[in-house]
Homo-oligomer: A and B are copies of this chain.
Amino acid sequence: MTLDEAKQHLIQAWGTLGSSWGVSRTMAQVHALLLVSPVAMTTEDIMEALQISRGNVNMNVRDLMDWGIVRKVLKPGERKEFFEAEKDVWKIGMQVAKERKKRELEPILRALEQVSTIEADITDPDVKQFAETVENLKKFASNTDKSLESIIKAEENWFWGSFFKLFR
């Protein structure tokens, strides 16, 4: 397997994984492409490598920047914008965890909070069972939330951050 074949392979696999993670195939592919590229790439480079349109590249690169895992790089003397991916896999994982927590866990916690304001006859067994299920979901979600929070915080902390680095 040559370098290019291997890259192609990985980009493909990453794209497939993306879809089962609620990320569009193309966005995942752009990410993989930048991840395995030794140098920052321009919009045109990406268009050519993945055979997709300019608008498509622009949208997906912007989304990846919103996720905090791709950066814009300006080269002195160059008019064009270059893009590069965060290469530290651990940082990518943290960043994704952080964003998903914000975008998914927090909304569901809010929704659970809202439905638990149900004001109904607590002696009704159905109401009681519903309240219990919601309570359990809330506990689970907030446990998950807190665990993620700790990991992220620890990572960002100067001491635990460098401590963790020893193991990766």
Task: Please determine whether B13 and A137 come into contact, CB atoms closer than 8 angstroms.
Answer: no
A21 smallest CB distance to B (angstroms): 5
Task: Please determine whether B1 and A118 come into contact, CB atoms closer than 8 angstroms.
Answer: yes
Question: For the complex, what is the distance from the CA of A51 to the CA of B111, rounded to whole Å?
Answer: 22
Closest to A132 in B: B87
Number of interface residues of A (CB under 8 A): 51
A22 touches B (CB below 8 Å): yes
Known: A22-B22, A38-B126, A118-B3. A140 touches B90 (CB 8 A): yes
Known: A1-B118, A114-B9, A126-B3. A136 touches B89 (CB 8 A): yes
Known: A35-B133, A130-B6, A140-B93. A20 touches B118 (CB 8 A): no
Task: Please determine whether A111 and B13 come into contact, CB atoms closer than 8 angstroms.
Answer: yes
Question: For the complex, what is the distance from the CA of A136 to the CA of B93, rounded to whole Å?
Answer: 12
A138 smallest CB distance to B (angstroms): 9
A59 touches B (CB below 8 Å): no
Of the A-B pairs whose beta carbons lie under 8 Å apart in the complex, a sample of 26, sorted by A's number, is A2-B118, A3-B126, A3-B127, A3-B130, A5-B118, A6-B115, A9-B115, A10-B111, A10-B115, A10-B134, A13-B112, A13-B115, A14-B108, A16-B107, A17-B104, A20-B22, A22-B22, A36-B133, A38-B129, A38-B130, A87-B133, A88-B136, A89-B133, A89-B136, A89-B139, A140-B168
